[in-house]
Amino acid sequence: MIWDFIQNQILGMQWLNVLIGQMLSSMGLDAASRVGGSVQFFLYDVIKITILLCLLIFMISYIQSYFPPERSKKIMGRFHGIWANCIAALLGTVTPFCSCSSIPLFIGFTSAGLPLGVTFSFLISSPMVDLGSLVLLMSIFGAKVAVAYVVVGLIIAVIGGTLIEKMHMENYVEEFIRNASSVDIDSPTLSQKDRLEYAKEQVISTFKKVFPYILVGVGIGAIIHNWIPESMVESVLGGNNPFGVILATLIGIPMYADIFGTIPIAEALLAKGAMLGTVLSFMMAVTTLSLPSLIMLRKAVKPKLLGVFILICTVGIIAVGYLFNLFHYLFI
């Protein structure tokens, strides 16, 4: 009962949904109608995600202040083999919130001489899995789905990086990165005041970048939730369509959003009858393989390596989708 209270009232903020419904009713807008339901969905999700987003970014950025690029590079350099991939994937959970922000760090790690497979494990996990997504997913889908999502995301990152390492594709990194000289510069020691100021600046900076995508994502979610017939969603993304996972993944790749803008869409699709694995595949594709991030990555790697990266991530995401669909009864 205590956990249910935490999940529903603290993380899920159901009290906020009730409050907004009462407010709309007092204004003469029926929350049970399509228009009223859309307004309630939009206000509730925007406010809830914004509150959680700011709190999470502050906490994660404070933690991240202990792991600047130089220190992260030294930590990853102490490990070898698959353990190095695991550490890189875990470090990705406390770094940038979108794929485009992760690529400059990937370039820095690669030019510093870290193994290519290790840096790709970081590149995969950083946008796909972070501490913020874990909490936000828990607020909407529950703890089992959230933990499972993070675990499979880390597995994809480790396996993907390991495969790239085994293929010895170092020559497919652009020469300006391979020939870059590495300079070890010790990070200055930050005071508690500096760390709090850094966390505050990250909240403001990330919120400015992310908030437009939250508005778009919640808006799309509100339309799906209240205007698109359930039968339509079930026929396309439900269990009767064996290609639903592949379709959701392919739809997600050209889009650009982070986990915070994608979750409202996933929430609405799941409520309308889409399969859990199909929804998770869509989220992973959007956050990991967005078109802008692939264009940025192309500046750092040659087409063959970029193609291998896309293929590994796509196959892994699709496999995860079908696996979750097969065992969805364990999570919902």
Residue 144 has pLDDT above 90, yes or no: no
Q: How far apart are CA 50 and CA 34, in angstroms?
A: 24
Q: How far apart are CA 256 and CA 248, in angstroms?
A: 14
Residue closest to 292 by CA, chosen among 154, 91, 101, 107: 101
Q: What is the pLDDT of residues 278-303, one digit of tens each?
A: 998 988 888 788 777 788 788 888 99
Residues above pLDDT 70, as percent of the chain: 92
User: Helix or strand or coil: residue 301?
Assistant: strand
User: Helix or strand or coil: residue 246?
Assistant: helix
Residues above pLDDT 90, as percent of the chain: 22
Report which of residues 61 and 47 the model is more confident about: 47
Q: How far apart are CA 259 and CA 149, in angstroms?
A: 12
pLDDT of residue 19: 94
pLDDT of residue 99: 57
pLDDT of residue 207: 85
Whole-Å CA distances, 17 to 127, 144, 190, 258: 29, 23, 40, 24
Q: Tokens 């209240």 appear where?
A: 226
Q: What is the mean pLDDT of residues 236-265?
A: 82
pLDDT of residue 96: 56
pLDDT of residue 258: 64
Residue 301: phi and psi, rounded to 5, are: -130, 160
Q: How far apart are CA 82 and CA 264, in angstroms?
A: 35
Q: What is the pLDDT of residues 8-38, one digit of tens each?
A: 788 888 899 999 999 999 998 988 898 999 9
pLDDT of residue 181: 53
How much is the mean pLDDT over the chain? 83
Residue 160 has pLDDT above 80, yes or no: yes
Q: What is the pLDDT of residues 232-249, one digit of tens each?
A: 888 888 888 899 999 998
Q: What is the mean pLDDT of residues 210-224?
A: 87
Report which of residues 188 and 299 the model is more confident about: 299
Q: What is the pLDDT of residues 85-122, one digit of tens each?
A: 998 888 888 765 555 567 777 877 887 778 899 989 98
pLDDT of residue 54: 86
User: Helix or strand or coil: residue 204?
Assistant: helix
